[in-house]
């Protein structure tokens, strides 16, 4: 007689409960739209207010990519100087001393370079303004240049010192074999080799539609905290009888428009501050019957090597024959 299979049931914790207020409301959107985007931003559009009431210039400048920021700074610098060069140009050559140009285009170039020198308060001295008109324009430009330099310096400093967690998530979450049951698993890694995070905590929640209402449940993790985050961390939710996922099928998650929210927070040694990272997985981003492959490479010079290109790599795996979160036949 075959022995009865025993399942590993974790003790019930305070995390195994319905979350009554997550701050995301109870509205049920049409379709399968996600609440939190993959990059951690919230998929929410505010209406009823003007664009400028909801738009924050500082946040926009701080959070945009470095490529966009650099392009914006260079474009602004170029356009401002072209504008003032045009003002100098229409004032006439008599308003300046030292301009040597054989064509109108060369004259405009001289005034453009004079504008850049005035804007940055360099002033080489070969060209100088003469008269009230040109001196007034150059005085205004020098003030704008000083203020622009102060703003650009502040933004650069803000972008450099802004604490941010650079965490890479596996592209999919997996329903994987775990001991004698199954587990919902995903993998994360710290992209920054020189930024050490310690005391890292993870929270995993699920939103699903139940009886026409959106409900949120907090999922218990095998380990919800690690001391050092130097390699990778496979975060695992064991699907026990006490799990909100117990007995659910792939179709059940689809019908309930399930979405899994992840919040990672930890202490960054470089910034000496707590940093956060968010992401989510929709029901259609869950791979059933799979397990992650190892991302450790052959050690070199006594150092541990991890290949982050394999952060999302997985292989198919047979799930235990149980009623605990199984794919439909």
pLDDT digits (tens, 9 = 90+) for 169-184: 999 999 999 988 999 9
pLDDT confidence band for 326 (50 / 70 / 90): low
Same-domain pairing of 81 and 94: yes
Same-domain pairing of 82 and 120: yes
Same-domain pairing of 186 and 306: yes
68 has pLDDT over 80: yes
Q: For strand 273-282 and strand 259-268, is the pairing parallel, antiparallel, or unpaired?
A: antiparallel
Same-domain pairing of 263 and 119: no
Same-domain pairing of 77 and 104: yes
Choose one of 161, 192, 216: the last residue of a domain: 161
Task: Please report the sign of the dihedral spanned by the C-alpha atoms of residue 88, residue 92, residue 96, residue 101.
Answer: positive
Same-domain pairing of 229 and 300: yes
Question: Where are the alpha helices (H) located in 121-278, listed in sequence order?
Answer: 132-161, 250-255
Q: 52 lies in a domain?
A: no
Closest CA to 297 of 237, 232, 235: 232
Choose one of 135, 161, 187: the last residue of a domain: 161
pLDDT tens for 239-298 read 998 999 988 888 999 988 899 999 999 998 888 889 999 999 999 999 999 999 998 887
Q: 115 lies in a domain?
A: yes
Lowest mean pLDDT among 30-44, 51-65, 151-165, 237-251: 30-44
308 has pLDDT over 80: yes
Predicted TM-score (pTM) of this structure: 0.73
Same-domain pairing of 109 and 205: no
Q: What is the helix (H) or strand (E) element at residue 54, kind and residue range?
A: helix 51-54
Predicted pLDDT of residue 32? 58
**Structural domain for 217, as ranges:** 17-43+164-316
Same-domain pairing of 173 and 156: no
Same-domain pairing of 245 and 213: yes
Q: 304 lies in a domain?
A: yes
Same-domain pairing of 212 and 312: yes
pLDDT confidence band for 139 (50 / 70 / 90): very high
Q: 12 lies in a domain?
A: no
Percent of the chain with pLDDT over 70: 87
Q: 8 lies in a domain?
A: no
Q: Quote the CA–CA distance of 188 and 233 in Å, as a whole number.
A: 5
124 has pLDDT over 70: yes
Same-domain pairing of 171 and 156: no
Same-domain pairing of 116 and 254: no
């Amino acid at each position: 007689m075959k022995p009865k299979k025993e399942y590993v049931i974790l003790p019930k914790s305070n995390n195994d409960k319905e979350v009554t207020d997550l701050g995301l409301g109870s509205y049920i959107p049409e379709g399968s739209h996600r609440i939190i985007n993959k990059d951690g931003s919230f998929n929410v559009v505010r209406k009823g207010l003007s664009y400028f009431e909801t738009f924050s210039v500082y946040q926009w400048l701080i959070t945009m990519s470095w490529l966009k920021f650099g392009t914006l700074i260079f474009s602004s610098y170029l356009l401002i100087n072209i504008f003032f060069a045009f003002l100098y140009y229409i004032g006439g050559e008599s308003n300046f001393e030292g301009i040597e140009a054989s064509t109108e285009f060369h004259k405009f170039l001289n005034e453009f370079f004079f504008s850049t020198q005035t804007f940055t308060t360099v002033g080489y001295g070969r060209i100088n303004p003469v008269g009230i008109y040109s001196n007034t324009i150059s005085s205004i430009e020098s003030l704008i240049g000083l203020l622009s330099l102060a703003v650009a310096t502040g933004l650069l400093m803000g972008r450099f010192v802004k604490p941010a967690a650079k965490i890479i998530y596996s592209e999919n979450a997996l329903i994987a074999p775990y001991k004698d049951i199954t587990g919902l698993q995903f993998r994360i890694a710290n992209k920054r080799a020189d930024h050490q995070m310690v005391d890292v905590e993870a929270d995993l929640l699920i939103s699903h539609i139940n009886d026409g209402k959106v409900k949120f449940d907090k999922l218990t993790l095998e380990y919800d905290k690690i001391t050092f985050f130097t390699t990778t961390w496979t975060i695992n939710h064991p699907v026990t009888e006490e799990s909100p996922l117990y007995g659910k099928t792939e179709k059940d998650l689809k019908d309930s428009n399930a979405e899994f929210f992840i919040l990672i927070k930890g202490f960054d040694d470089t910034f000496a501050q707590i940093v956060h990272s968010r992401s989510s997985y929709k029901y259609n981003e869950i791979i059933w019957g799979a397990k992650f492959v190892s991302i450790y490479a052959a050690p070199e010079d006594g150092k541990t090597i991890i290949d982050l290109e394999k952060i999302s790599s997985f292989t198919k795996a047979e799930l235990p024959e149980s009623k605990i979160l199984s794919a439909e036949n």
